[in-house]
Amino acid sequence: MDVTTWYLEQTGPGDLRPGRPPSDPAEIVRAEHPSPEFSRFLYTAVGGDWQWTTRLTWTWRQWMDWLSRPGLETWVAWSQGTPAGYVELAAQDEGSVEITNFGLLPFAIGRGLGGHLLATGAARAWDLADRWPGREKTRRVWVHTCSLDSPAALANYQARGFRIYDDKLNVPGDEDEGVTPGPWPGAGPRG
């Protein structure tokens, strides 16, 4: 199956456009303690329906090494005490911050939370250096999405002020063949 990947960026904090307030109250909080267990839960619960498989083979140590990197932040949306989605930010060289993961758990989709969470995550990317002494001020926030992601993903990024700067058409390999996406065996698109 052919997959299109879009690369998007903001080059100044003025590019960011807010999302509408979510229909259900939500609190977005930074997960300040590296927790491989929690991060793997978020990754599988959000990405299971969208073929996120890259990190499924990671060991506990690989998760911990990733989460312990200076400038790596996980922001979690909570709705009525339940994790509803998350955005993961990774500071890079030359003032660049990548949104490495972003999405909602299935129950939270369609409630207006996605735009709000993405806008909050992008805002935290723009002020990330304030929380990491010695980190260069953010000059660029970027993200990529693909045609396997939610049909609303690309439009949400663009509505928040991200602009496409590159796109690629590729045919994914079978390196993930046999790896079951989702939080448990057999998880995947729910109907």
Query: Residue 100 and residue 6: Cα distance in Å, rounded?
Result: 13
> In the structure, what pLDDT confidence band is assigned to residue 75 with cuts at 50, 70 and 90?
very high
**In a domain? residue 139:** yes
* 135, pLDDT greater than 70: yes
Query: Residue 48 and residue 41: Cα distance in Å, rounded?
Result: 10
Mean pLDDT of the 48-65 span: 89
Which range marks the domain in which residue 165 is found? 3-170
Tens digit of pLDDT for each residue in 103-131? 999 889 888 899 999 999 999 999 999 99
**In a domain? residue 81:** yes
Instruction: For residue 183, give the DSSP letter.
Output: S
Which of 22-26, 41-45, 160-164 has the weakest average pLDDT?
22-26
- Give the number of other Cβ atoms within 10 Å of residue 112's Cβ: 15
**In a domain? residue 141:** yes
* 179, pLDDT greater than 60: no
**In a domain? residue 181:** no
* 177, pLDDT greater than 70: no
Is the pLDDT higher at 116 or at 52?
116
The count of structural domains within the chain is 1
The pTM score is 0.89
**In a domain? residue 190:** no
**In a domain? residue 78:** yes
Query: Residue 37 and residue 54: Cα distance in Å, rounded?
Result: 16
- Per-residue three-class SS string for the chain: CCEEEEEEEECCHHHCCCCCCCCCCCEEEECCCCCHHHHHHHHHHHHHHHCCCCCCCCCHHHHHHHHCCCCEEEEEEEECCEEEEEEEEEECHHHEEEEEEEEECHHHCCCCHHHHHHHHHHHHHHCHHHHCCCCCCCCEEEEEEECCCCCCHHHHHHHCCCEEEEEEEECCCCCCCCCCCCCCCCCCCCC
CATH number of residue 99's parent domain: 3.40.630.30
pLDDT at 182: 53
**In a domain? residue 187:** no
Mean pLDDT of the 149-174 span: 86
**In a domain? residue 126:** yes
Average pLDDT of every residue of the chain: 88
Tens digit of pLDDT for each residue in 136-155? 999 999 999 988 888 889 99
